[in-house]
Amino acid sequence: KQEVTQIPAALSVPEGENLVLNCSFTDSAIYNLQWFRQDPGKGLTSLLLIQSSQREQTSGRLNASLDKSSGRSTLYIAASQPGDSATYLCGCGDYKLSFGAGTTVTVRA
C-alpha cells in the first residue's frame, strides 16, 4: 500500500521568499505524481503532473521534481505571493491516487 507523507504540515513565509514543499512516498513504482492546490472550502486544482519517466515539470513560478529512487518529490514556488496561500497536496498513482495530508502555506504580506 502506497504511503504518502508531506512535511511540514504548515509553513508561514514572508512575501517574496521561495517556497519548498516536500512529498515522500514508499512505493517507487508509481505511474505519475501530481501536485494540487486546495483553497479553503474548495476542490483540488491540479498544478503540475510529473510522469514516471520525467524528472521535473515547470509552469510559471512553479517547478516540481521527482526522484523515484529516493521516493521524493519537491514543489518549488518562486517569489511567493499572498495569493499562494493555500493547502498543497501531492498524489501518487494512476487514476487511483494516494494522497499526503498536505502542507498549508501562509504567505505574509
Partner 1 sequence: NAGVTQTPKFQVLKTGQSMTLQCAQDMNHEYMSWYRQDPGMGLRLIHYSVGAGITDQGEVPNGYNVSRSTTEDFPLRLLSAAPSQTSVYFCASSYGRAQETQYFGPGTRLLVL
Nearest to 21 by CA among 82, 96, 84: 84
Stretch that binds partner 1, among 55-63, 64-72, 77-85, 86-94 (CB under 8 A): 86-94
By beta-carbon proximity to partner 1, the closer residue of 80 and 91 is: 91
* Cα–Cα distance for residue pair 40/105, rounded to 1 Å: 12
Amino acid at 42: K
Nearest to 21 by CA among 104, 91, 83: 104
Q: According to CB under 8 A, which one of 19, 24, 77, 100 is a site residue for partner 1? A: 100
Residue 94 as a binder of partner 1 (CB under 8 A): the answer is: yes
Residue 62 as a binder of partner 1 (CB under 8 A): the answer is: no
Residue 29 as a binder of partner 1 (CB under 8 A): the answer is: no
Nearest to 35 by CA among 58, 8, 12: 58
| Least distance to partner 1, CB of residue 58, Å | 15
By beta-carbon proximity to partner 1, the closer residue of 89 and 105 is: 89
